[in-house]
């Protein structure tokens, strides 16, 4: 769910990525605000019951497809 939530918060991901690239190892201290904003965005999606239901349905469909065919989908092939 976090991976999908991260895909739904591209602006916050971009801001956090730019900050971490800019500050290098100092990112732990320098990028707290960007990290917190990203976490809040993702948490907002995770707390949404409709979003949870859609992710569960998608997972169950992909699991069923794998059990029938033996072929993993791209998202869960990692």
Q: How confident is the model at residue 76, as a pLDDT? A: 57
Domain spans, the chain: 2-69
Better pLDDT: 76 or 31? 31
Q: What is the mean pLDDT of the chain?
A: 90
Average pLDDT over residues 10-31: 93
pLDDT, tens digit (0-9, with 9 covering 90-100), for 22-47: 998 888 899 999 999 999 999 999 99
Residue 78 has pLDDT above 60, yes or no: no
Sign of CA dihedral 21, 23, 29, 33: negative
Residue 77 has pLDDT above 60, yes or no: no
Tell me the three-class secondary structure of the chain, residue by residue. CHHHHHHCCHHHHHHHHHHHHHHHHHHHHHCHHHHHHHHHHHHHHHCCHHHHHHHHHHHHHHHHHHHHHCCCCCCCCC
Q: How confident is the model at residue 48, as a pLDDT? A: 94
């Amino acid at each position: 769910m976090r991976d999908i939530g991260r895909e739904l918060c591209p602006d916050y991901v971009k801001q956090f990525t730019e900050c971490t690239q800019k500050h290098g190892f100092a990112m732990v201290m320098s990028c707290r605000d960007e990290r917190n904003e990203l976490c809040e965005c993702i948490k907002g999606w995770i707390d949404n019951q409709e979003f949870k239901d859609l992710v569960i349905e998608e997972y169950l469909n992909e699991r069923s497809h794998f059990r029938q065919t033996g072929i993993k989908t791209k998202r869960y092939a990692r």
